[in-house]
């Protein structure tokens, strides 16, 4: 029931956001300098920002950009983690030890710090689309170690399972065996994929708030949090809180879905 | 001999890991775009000759091997290198910042754990409404640190300690209440409760010793969580701590500072890991 509600609510939010962006006459980047920092009106349902851009359209676009980017990054990170975890799980113990050491080196630093360093090491003055790609690519490339450790542990337990031993004794080759392994790892991979999505949305928001996220004028959760240090904006309208509220709602719904899948895995 | 090796091997592993983290940070920053840019190049008071000298100096510093050797030497000298942005030895920048961040971290963890325990204990023994107890924490869990900090500033309520407290409590509540509920519902405890054992005796003798190891692991995770949150919290609230230093160092490509901060953070994570696993490895991270 809970999972059904979360799925429907999230689906409606995404569909609504897509409709708003699609039907918007001016787009998320259009500026109306005559109407900056206005409260809700018939033209701008939730007001405008400091540059006169429609807040409803920008929040809707940020939702879509954040979710699409985080989902793509989660898919890449799960694929990297699956490859790394399987390689460590089924290779020689010495190679496995080196691979585990590499993942430990990534896990030795707090993730946000590592992410911040990596993102700052990439070009910061790029086009908005390029900054979005770089940000989510950073998340994908650095997000795999914890996930890989889980898959490595899963692989180790499967490696000692009876059916696997029998398969090897019967002469099946490693690629053939891996073909049989993947269905067993699917629940674990799906859970890791779903758990990564809210983590990446949060990470993008935190990075953006530190000025290392997606570049303007492309809307993002982090960019919208960064805008909120403008106290003049808040004195005029409470609609400025909308991005925070919607971000919490979206993350709450995704985590509801992810935690249920995690429990099944 | 075997026992000595068993003790020394995880320590050596941790030290190698710290070295790899330091060297990795230096390599990452060295290849970052704009690393060789020097603000003095834009200053008109410097003559063309001086600017070309700066260029040449940049080219001389280009080799990663030289940079690593130079940094290693300054670490051995004890000054930990010269900060590019503050133009002082890194060792001078650290003490006050470590004290500020340590205090903030300590307070956040202490209050976070107090809040978690106060909420998890009744939630784990409550027959009904367990989900209601957890609802505020679920909502907090869905709130990014930066959003929480921004909301605090906007509303004029709370500060960095409150954000860290709420963050730690939101991460730990679910796990602690699950651990405590598991211990509370264990068959031997159900039997003990049916025999009329008091709550304090149950907690002291049966529950706490059984859950101690899991709680220690959770403690390690909360240290890592709070450490990661330190950066946005200190930047948004303008707290002059290690997190803010790390952020300015990242933005200014201040390699010596970044290398030191990376090793420092990795050492704290390793230390926290050793508390939960009783050995100095980074498993718990």
Q: Measured between alpha carbons, how far is B237 from B222 in angstroms, rounded to an integer?
A: 21
Query: What pLDDT sits at residue A16?
Result: 94
Model confidence at B278, pLDDT cuts 50, 70, 90, reads low
Q: Is B167 on the interface with A (CB under 8 A)?
A: no
Query: What pLDDT sits at residue B279?
Result: 47
Whether residue A217 is preceded by a cis peptide bond, meaning omega within 30 degrees of 0, is: yes
Q: Measured between alpha carbons, how far is A63 from A69 in angstroms, rounded to an integer?
A: 10
Place of tokens 């590499």: A102
What number of C-beta contacts closer than 8 Å exist between A and B? 127
Provide, as residue numbers in chain A, all residues whose Cβ is less than 8 Å from the Cβ of B164. none
Place of tokens 């230093």: B245
Percent of chain B with pLDDT over 70: 84
Q: Is A209 close to B144, i.e. CB distance below 8 A?
A: yes
Q: Is A113 close to B228, i.e. CB distance below 8 A?
A: yes
Q: Is B153 on the interface with A (CB under 8 A)?
A: yes
Q: Measured between alpha carbons, how far is B248 from B64 in angstroms, rounded to an integer?
A: 22
Express each pLDDT in B164-221 by its tens digit: 999 999 988 888 888 888 888 888 888 887 888 887 888 788 888 888 888 888 888 8
A173/chain B closest Cα distance in angstroms: 32
Express each pLDDT in A37-70 by its tens digit: 777 787 788 888 878 888 899 999 999 999 999 9
Model confidence at A20, pLDDT cuts 50, 70, 90, reads very high
- State ipTM: 0.80
Residue A69: CB partners within 8 Å, gap ≥ 6? A132, A135, A136, A139, A200, A204
Report yes or no: B90 and B256 within 8 Å, Cβ to Cβ. yes
Helices (H) and strands (E) in chain B, counts: 12, 0
Residue scoring higher pLDDT (B108 or A161): B108
| Cα-based torsion angle of the residue sequence A145, A146, A148, A149 in order, rounded to the nearest 10 degrees | 120
Residue B271: CB partners within 8 Å, gap ≥ 6? B280
Model confidence at B284, pLDDT cuts 50, 70, 90, reads very low
């Amino acid at each position: 029931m809970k999972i059904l509600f979360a799925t429907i609510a999230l689906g409606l939010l995404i569909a609504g956001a897509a409709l708003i962006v699609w039907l918007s006459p001016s787009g998320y980047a259009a500026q109306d300098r005559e109407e900056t920092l206005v409260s809700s009106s018939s033209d701008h349902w939730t007001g405008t920002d400091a540059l006169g851009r429609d807040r409803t359209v920008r929040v809707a676009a940020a939702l879509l950009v954040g979710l699409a980017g985080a989902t793509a990054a989660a898919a890449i990170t799960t694929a990297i983690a699956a490859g790394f975890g399987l390689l460590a799980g089924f290779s020689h113990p010495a190679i496995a030890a080196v691979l585990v050491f590499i993942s430990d080196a990534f896990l030795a630093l707090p993730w946000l710090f590592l992410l911040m360093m990596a993102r700052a090491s990439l070009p910061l003055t790029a086009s908005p689309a390029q900054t979005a790609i770089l940000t989510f690519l950073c998340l994908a490339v650095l997000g795999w170690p914890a996930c890989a450790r889980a898959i490595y542990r899963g692989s180790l337990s499967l490696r000692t399972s009876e059916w696997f031993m029998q398969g090897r004794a019967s002469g099946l080759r490693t690629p053939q065996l891996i073909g049989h392994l993947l269905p067993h790892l699917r629940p674990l991979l799906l859970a890791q994929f779903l758990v990564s999505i809210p983590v990446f949305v949060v990470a993008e928001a935190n990075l953006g708030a530190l000025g290392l996220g997606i570049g303007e004028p492309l809307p993002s959760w982090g960019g919208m949090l960064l805008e909120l240090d403008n106290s003049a904006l808040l004195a005029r309208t409470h609609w400025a809180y909308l991005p925070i509220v919607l971000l919490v709602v979206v993350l709450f719904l995704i985590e509801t879905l992810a935690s249920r899948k995690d429990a099944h895995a | 001999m075997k026992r000595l090796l068993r003790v020394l091997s995880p320590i050596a592993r941790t030290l190698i890991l710290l070295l790899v983290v330091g060297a990795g940070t230096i390599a990452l920053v060295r290849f970052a775009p704009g690393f060789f840019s020097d603000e003095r190049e834009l200053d008109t008071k410097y003559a063309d000759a001086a600017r070309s000298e700066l260029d040449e100096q940049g080219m001389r510093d280009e080799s990663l091997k030289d940079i690593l050797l130079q940094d290693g030497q300054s670490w051995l000298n004890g000054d930990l290198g010269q900060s590019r942005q503050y133009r002082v030895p890194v060792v001078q920048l650290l003490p006050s910042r470590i004290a500020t961040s340590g205090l903030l971290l300590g307070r956040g963890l202490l209050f976070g754990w107090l809040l978690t325990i106060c909420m998890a204990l009744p939630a784990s023994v409550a027959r009904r409404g367990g989900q209601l107890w957890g609802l505020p924490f679920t909502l907090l869990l869905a709130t990014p640190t930066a959003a929480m900090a921004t909301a605090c500033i906007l509303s004029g309520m709370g500060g960095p300690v409150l954000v860290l407290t709420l963050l730690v409590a939101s991460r730990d509540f679910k796990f602690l209440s699950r651990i405590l509920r598991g211990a509370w519902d264990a068959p031997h405890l159900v039997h003990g409760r049916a025999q009329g054992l008091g709550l304090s005796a149950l907690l002291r003798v049966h529950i706490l010793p059984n859950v101690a190891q899991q709680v220690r692991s959770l403690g390690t995770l909360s240290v890592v969580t709070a450490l990661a949150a330190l950066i946005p919290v200190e930047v948004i609230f303008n707290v002059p701590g290690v997190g803010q230093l790390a952020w300015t160092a990242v933005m200014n490509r201040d390699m010596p500072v970044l290398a030191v901060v990376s090793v420092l953070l990795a050492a704290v994570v390793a230390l926290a890991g050793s508390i939960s696993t009783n050995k100095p490895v980074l498993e718990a991270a």
